[in-house]
């Protein structure tokens, strides 16, 4: 075992991180949309599924492009499939399309005599989610939800953010459907509720784990139960089986993030991503959980710095120089300086100003 001097967590030499695991951590994971179909598809009825998807996309295209006029890409899914229940599930990584499909009014009720029922995801994508911080228990979530829905028209869901509760306050995750309303809330930076000001920030997702890539999880011949670690096909009742983690033998599920082996695995994955942020897609920012964070680092987020700087330069080049009300984004030379260096420069500037005033 090695202890990294720049972090509070330990790295095991015997835990290796595959490219597949790194890519899973860095990708933008959106839940599949499930379209319950009646009558059901047969599992091998791929041709009928193709016709269904093509007709579905044709029916929503005009309305989607009307509501998303700047979207210029072809409309389609990254992948889709017929699940074991005979329903259609589809995945898109395009945020605008994902959010559009989270509205039941946008979904056709019937295609080719197949009635459709949409199963709504629990959340929108993180790119349309905000965090309302340090909400006091003196204000009930029900009262806040009622007031928020009166203030904003496109709220999709309001839920307590997991792992943020303490004895006095909690954080709320709020999903916003309309892009403009989402940006307006973030730009304002605060929300007034019941006469109290609350800070608002972007919601950032913590890195997820592809647990089956852990070294110890190498049994490819069996479908291991996450409760008892035995083969799920051994004719036993795996809803009532005795719990025993197959990573460490502890009394918890094998997918429990509190498992010592999973903790070490997660720490190494985050360590790898922190040292290679250039691999992150441009639209992904990962929140670093506190237990994996170096207290000497100010940033709690991992993002692709090169892409962010490139996008900033593009915005700088694109602003309208003939518009007197348009101001360029300035890249100050001291933005990457250390606190000590900046402080010295600032003191020198103050001294220069004093001399000019007194002369």
User: How does pLDDT run across 319-343, given as a tens digit for each residue?
Assistant: 454 555 544 544 444 444 444 444 5
CA 83 to chain centre: 25
Residue 260: other Cβ atoms inside 10 A: 11
Cα 114 from Cα 123, distance rounded (Å): 27
Q: What is the DSSP letter of 104?
A: G
pLDDT tens readout for residues 12-22: 455 555 555 55
Task: Catalogue the E-assigned strands of the chain.
Answer: 2-3, 10-11, 33-38, 79-82, 88-91, 110-111, 114-119, 129-136, 155-160, 169-176, 190-193, 196-202, 286-287, 301-302
What is the enclosing helix (H) or strand (E) of 148? helix 141-151
Helix (H/G/I), strand (E/B), else coil: 343: helix
Please state the domain extents for the chain: 33-119, 126-202
Residue 40: other Cβ atoms inside 10 A: 15
Q: Are 14 and 261 in contact (CB under 8 A)?
A: no
- Contacts of residue 40, Cβ cutoff 8 Å, sequence gap at least 6: 85, 86, 87
Q: What is the pLDDT of residue 275?
A: 77
Q: What is the pLDDT of residue 319?
A: 44
Kindly state the percentage of the chain with pLDDT values over 90. Answer: 26
Cα 63 from Cα 59, distance rounded (Å): 8
**pLDDT exceeds 90 at position 308:** no
Q: Are 25 and 311 in contact (CB under 8 A)?
A: no
Cα 61 from Cα 123, distance rounded (Å): 23
Lowest pLDDT segment from 38-42, 144-148, 184-188, 289-293: 289-293
Name the token pair of 81.
């499939």
Q: Which CATH class is domain 126-202?
A: alpha beta
Residue position matching structure tokens 């080049």:
317
Q: What is the pLDDT of residue 258?
A: 80
Residue 163: other Cβ atoms inside 10 A: 11
Residue 193: other Cβ atoms inside 10 A: 16
pLDDT tens readout for residues 101-149: 999 999 999 998 999 999 998 888 888 889 888 888 777 888 888 999 9
**pLDDT exceeds 80 at position 350:** no
Sheet holding 155-160, edge to edge: 155-160, 169-176, 129-136, 196-202, 190-193
Q: Are 28 and 283 in contact (CB under 8 A)?
A: yes
Residue length of the chain: 359
What is the enclosing helix (H) or strand (E) of 323? none
Residue 248: other Cβ atoms inside 10 A: 17
pLDDT tens readout for residues 251-266: 888 878 788 888 888 7
Sheet holding 33-38, edge to edge: 79-82, 88-91, 33-38, 114-119, 110-111
Cα 261 from Cα 292, distance rounded (Å): 15
pTM score: 0.57
Name the token pair of 71.
């979207």
What is the enclosing helix (H) or strand (E) of 310? helix 305-318
């Amino acid at each position: 075992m090695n202890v990294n001097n720049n972090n509070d967590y330990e790295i095991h030499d015997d835990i290796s991180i595959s490219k597949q695991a790194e890519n899973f951590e860095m990708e933008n994971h959106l839940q599949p949309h499930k379209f319950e179909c009646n009558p059901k598809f047969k599992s091998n009825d791929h041709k009928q599924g193709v016709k269904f998807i093509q007709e579905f996309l044709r029916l929503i295209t005009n309305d989607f492009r009307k509501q998303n006029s700047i979207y210029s890409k072809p409309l389609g899914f990254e992948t889709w499939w017929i699940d074991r229940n005979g329903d259609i599930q589809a995945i898109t990584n395009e945020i605008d399309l994902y959010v559009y499909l989270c509205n039941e009014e946008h979904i056709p009720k019937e295609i080719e005599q197949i009635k459709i029922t949409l199963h709504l995801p629990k959340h929108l994508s993180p790119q349309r989610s905000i965090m309302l911080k340090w909400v006091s228990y003196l204000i009930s979530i029900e009262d806040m939800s009622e007031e928020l829905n009166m203030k904003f028209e496109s709220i999709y869901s309001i839920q307590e953010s997991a792992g943020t509760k303490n004895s006095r306050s909690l954080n709320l995750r709020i999903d916003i459907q309309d892009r403009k309303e989402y940006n307006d809330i973030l730009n304002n930076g605060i929300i007034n509720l019941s006469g109290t000001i609350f800070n608002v920030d972007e919601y950032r997702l913590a890195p997820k784990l592809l647990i089956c890539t852990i070294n110890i999880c190498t049994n490819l011949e069996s479908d291991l139960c996450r409760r008892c670690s035995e083969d799920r096909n051994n004719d036993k009742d795996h809803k009532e089986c005795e719990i025993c983690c197959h990573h460490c033998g502890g009394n918890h599920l094998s997918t429990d993030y509190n498992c010592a082996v999973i903790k070490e695995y997660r720490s190494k994955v985050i360590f790898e991503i922190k040292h290679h942020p250039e691999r992150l897609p441009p639209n992904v920012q990962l929140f670093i959980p506190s237990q994996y964070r170096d207290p000497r680092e100010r940033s709690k987020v991992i993002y692709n710095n090169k892409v962010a700087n490139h996008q900033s330069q593009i915005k700088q080049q694109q602003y309208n120089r003939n518009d007197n009300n348009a101001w360029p984004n300035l890249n100050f030379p001291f933005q990457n300086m250390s606190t000590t260096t900046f402080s010295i420069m600032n003191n020198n500037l103050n001294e220069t100003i004093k001399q000019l005033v007194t002369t």
